Amino acid sequence: MIKQTIWAGALAFAAALLPTGASANPLVTTDWLEKNLTNAKVRVVEVSVEPGQFERGHIPGAQNIVWHTDLVDTVKRDIASQEKFQALVRKLGIDKETTVVLYGDNNNWFAAWGAWIFSVYGLNDNVKLLDGGRKKWELEKRPYDNRIEAVKPSNVTLAAANTKLRARLSDVLGVVNNKSNVTIVDIRSPDEFSGKIFAPPGSQELSVRAGHVPGALNVAWGRAVNPTDGTFKTADELKKLYAEAGIDGSKPIIVYCRIGERSSHTWFLLSKILGYDVRNYDGSWTEYGNSVGVPVTNLAGTVWGGK
């Protein structure tokens, strides 16, 4: 009895430390965020793709992450090293007690990529997405600010990268060669999946083969989103959507796209909203489709004729 009381007390104490309403839910609402902008335990960070967007107006008090330099190794193709990411997180004043709320443009694609990296480096319980990102914030006519607040750096020490959240080419090939019982989810458009096109128009990063990883299931990322405000569909709707495509969480999952960003969006919802066991294959089609000797399914039969 005494033990139970102590436990209950400890839990209540832990809950009191957490910002209100942000407990286990991986998403925060625009309403909640606006009420918690001055909460010292909350750090709001924008991860957008369009340059100048953050500077011209961001959620008041937000910090900025530039995804193509801060979150990656700029020389070899890889995510930011533990050392580099730790330096960034320290600069942003984030420690293990901070609730990190990420948001951005383009339906939170790059914010979701950021959330995946935070999770890889052990901040999985800290990181949340602002549901709807910039789109919903603007639709609701909430204010922006263009001043940048100074934050006190932290001295957090991050864990080594959690390999359970990240799939490599060898993992994907292991599945393809029937060595493991895993569902692969291709979140690109149906035309990329079928091999009609190599990449969406305007894409710099290409592969020299069209099609998809054999056995992969195609659920385009956008189907998980309410188009009007960019929010995720409800957990029940998402569960149903993916179950209809044959993804019910009974088996481990690997998600991929073209360069690993959009698939982070699906990774986020499958792993953090639905609680499935999911790895993001950030090498994605630009690695797989350029690899020599790997099996490919190309339904459309498009032949590479690069000049």
- Residue 5 CB burial class (10 angstroms; 0-12, 13-18, ≥19): exposed
Count residues near another protein (CB under 8 A). 14
DSSP conformational letter for 107:
G
**In this complex, which beta carbon is closest to another protein, that of residue 86 or of residue 280?**
86
List 79, 161, 187, 257, catalytic entry: 257
CB atoms within 10 A of CB 1: 5
**In this complex, which beta carbon is closest to another protein, that of residue 239 or of residue 258?**
258
Here's the x/- map for another protein, 60-79, by CB under 8 A: it reads as ------x-------------
**In this complex, which beta carbon is closest to another protein, that of residue 22 or of residue 71?**
71
At its nearest, how many Å lie between another protein and the CB of residue 201? Answer: 8
Residues with Cβ within 8 Å of residue 277, at least 6 apart in sequence: 249, 252, 253, 271
At its nearest, how many Å lie between another protein and the CB of residue 162? Answer: 29
Query: Does residue 55 interact with another protein by CB under 8 A?
Result: yes
Task: Give which of 30, 26, 66, 64 is closest to 46, Cα–Cα.
Answer: 64
DSSP conformational letter for 66:
-
Longest dimension (CA), the chain: 76
Distance CA 26, CA 85 (A): 21
Of 202, 236, 292, 305, which lies in the binding site for another protein, with binding defined by CB under 8 A? 202
Binding to another protein (CB under 8 A) within 10-39 occurs at none
Distance CA 29, CA 19 (A): 13
Distance CA 292, CA 1 (A): 64
Q: Distance between the two ends of the chain, CA-based, in angstroms?
A: 76
Query: Does residue 146 interact with another protein by CB under 8 A?
Result: yes
* Active-site residue, 257 included: yes
Query: Does residue 141 interact with another protein by CB under 8 A?
Result: no
Q: At which residue do the structure tokens 């007390």 appear? A: 9
Q: Please choose, out of 3-11, 21-29, 200-208, 237-245, the segment that lies near another protein by the rule CB under 8 A.
A: 200-208
At its nearest, how many Å lie between another protein and the CB of residue 147? Answer: 5
CB atoms within 10 A of CB 178: 8
At its nearest, how many Å lie between another protein and the CB of residue 52? Answer: 4
Here's the x/- map for another protein, 150-179, by CB under 8 A: it reads as x-----------------------------
Active site amino acids = 257
Q: Which residues bind another protein (CB under 8 A)?
A: 51-52, 54-56, 66, 146-148, 150, 201-202, 204, 307
